[in-house]
Amino acid sequence: MEENIKQYTVVVFTEDKVGLLNRITIVFTRRHLNIDSLTTSESEIKGIFRYTIVTKTTPEMMKKAADQIEKLTEVLRAFYYEAQDVVSQELALYKISTANLSTPMEGLIRDFNVRILDIEKEFIIVEKTGSRKEVLRLFEQLKPYGILQFACTGQVAVTKPMKELETYLQELNKAAQKSNEIRSWKLKN
């Protein structure tokens, strides 16, 4: 079991309704799945929200959880991807003490391709966009200088293999309509 654990990026599209975040996380909680990161934003279509959730689990468990998420009434679709199928980035902010500031750090900042957002007497704030690994590597490098605050977005991701959301919506609309027809057939027979 253990060796089959993989990192998954779960992408969930939902209607814009109160309480959905709660419902989605309940599925993870019930199956004892840790959420490594979770981001949410409006998708490319107005009124449809996109959740990007990173978790580690087995392929079987991932499928079961995704099915249970998709079952939620206001969830449009739930997909999951392995690492190679997503392009993802995180954005991290570091507030670093200037007390120990010296030239090697400035070099570091250059090497890591970070942006300086603010410089004050006691601290500087830098921004790094990159993979989780890069974000953490920079964290380790900055540690000796004294990290006063660290905040990170978690993974935002787009997927390589996926139809356009608009296509899914059209499919869903058709299926929901068809569903009503099947229901009428049932009620008559």
Phi, psi of 163 (to 5 degrees): -70, 170
Q: How far is the CB of 55 from other proteins (least distance, A)?
A: 17
Cβ closest to other proteins, residue 41 vs residue 73: 73
Distance CA 2, CA 128 (A): 33
Is 147 among the residues that bind other proteins (CB under 8 A)?
Answer: no
Is 63 among the residues that bind other proteins (CB under 8 A)?
Answer: yes
H or E segment to which residue 19 belongs: none
Distances from the Cα of 101 to the Cα of 98, 113, 144, 184, angstroms: 5, 18, 10, 73
Please report the sign of the dihedral spanned by the C-alpha atoms of residue 49, residue 14, residue 90, residue 161: negative
Residue at token pair 């392009």: 87
Total residues at interface with other proteins (CB under 8 A) = 32
Contacts to other proteins from residues 70-99, by CB under 8 A: 70-71, 73-76
Is 7 among the residues that bind other proteins (CB under 8 A)?
Answer: no
Q: How far is the CB of 160 from other proteins (least distance, A)?
A: 25
Question: Considering only CA atoms, which of 89, 109, 90 is closest in space to residue 98?
Answer: 109
End-to-end CA distance of the chain: 47
Question: Considering only CA atoms, which of 62, 54, 59 is closest in space to residue 131?
Answer: 54
Is 11 among the residues that bind other proteins (CB under 8 A)?
Answer: no
Which listed residue (1, 99, 151, 176) binds other proteins by CB under 8 A? 176
Is 173 among the residues that bind other proteins (CB under 8 A)?
Answer: yes
Which listed residue (87, 116, 117, 175) binds other proteins by CB under 8 A? 175
Contacts to other proteins from residues 30-59, by CB under 8 A: 30
Residue numbers at the binding site for other proteins (CB under 8 A): 14-15, 18-19, 22-23, 26, 30, 63-64, 67-68, 70-71, 73-76, 169, 172-173, 175-180, 182-183, 185-186, 189
